[in-house]
Amino acid sequence: MPNKQPEEIPVYMFMGFLESGKTKFIKETLSDKRFMTGERTLLLVCEEGIEEYDTSDFEKNNVVMRVLEDKDELNEPNLIRLTVETHAERILVEYNGMWLLNDLFQAMPESWQLCQFMFFADAQTFMQFNANMRSLVVDKLNMCELAVFNRFERSMDPQEYHQIVRGVSRRTDICYEYTDGEIAYDDIEDPLPFDVEADHIVIEDKDFALWYRDIMEEPGKYDGKTVTFKGLAARNRKFPENTFAIGRHIMTCCVEDIQYCWCVAQYGKAFEPRPKHWVNITARIKVQRHKLYKGAGPVLFVTSLEDTQPPEKEVATFY
């Protein structure tokens, strides 16, 4: 009988470009007795840099390494095979910075449970990567819980790095590893440009992208509040009665990634949006399960709705 996979296998993602410090951090993790507690560990290396792994203690520590040399190897049958043949109880992935995360998501076996994302960058080359390969940077920052900028010089301004990360995610912790050995965590205050504590929150046109990301990341803090903003209404035949979408097109990094980002809105009156139908909406927010979210999310119960002109910039951005 072939070996079966465990029902759930925790997966730890280490992301970044070549020479970003991923391998160094993974090596430290594999030598940390607080982490290495006997579980059979598969180290899946999707990118080999200058720094190499010393595999001499791998067998003793119950670690087995496999290398994916080509993206074609990133497919579900192959990942299942590797999981089974190595008897993996957990997986560490050193991910190729040139591959999109969706490449992995589409290939992942059902048993793999993503539990931690970390992004590493050489601070001295990061700005160049961000300028030339912004979409790949956003792809990684969008998911990561911790961004580590190593080889950080005292002459560098943390604010510049902070702004790039915050332009993608407000949840990500940021760490700076200085060349003199000091480690500092980012404590730059980043207040929202609207009063999230108010019972009635008014969102200016220029702040829609920030508000949308925030309500989708932390919907609970908006539960029971009233919001007013300008949005693009839309509906299709699959929507329940008296339900429509309200949102705007948002650009995260470049024209290619513009997408319509919307919330579920419910209205007690008959309303059939026209193409490119802009409205001013006031609604009370309730976080609840809804089939259009395929789970829980912010549902906007409309109290007033009126036609309006498009904003000066129809595509919302984070800057």
- Residue 1's pLDDT is 37
Give pairs for 260-263: CB < 8 Å, separation 24+: 260/232, 260/234, 261/209, 261/212, 262/231, 262/234, 263/212, 263/215, 263/297, 263/298, 263/299, 263/300
- Residue 50's pLDDT is 74
- Residue 41's pLDDT is 96
- Residue 247's pLDDT is 97
pLDDT beneath 70: ranges in the chain:
1-6, 253-256, 319
- Residue 6's pLDDT is 54
Give the chain's count of helices (H) and strands (E): 7, 15
CA distance 268 to 277: 18
CA distance 72 to 128: 28
Where exactly does CATH 3.40.50.300 map onto the chain?
9-185
- Residue 257's pLDDT is 76
CATH code of the domain occupying 200-316: 2.40.50.140
- Residue 2's pLDDT is 45
- Residue 168's pLDDT is 86
- Phi first, then psi: give them for residue 161, nearest 5 degrees: -70, -40
- Residue 108's pLDDT is 95
- Smallest Cα–Cα separation from 26: which of 8, 46, 6, 7? 46
CATH code of the domain occupying 9-185: 3.40.50.300
- Residue 191's pLDDT is 84
Where exactly does CATH 2.40.50.140 map onto the chain?
200-316
CA distance 250 to 314: 9
Q: Degrees (nearest 5) of the Cα angle 175, 179, 180?
A: 105
Element of type H or E holding 283: strand 277-290
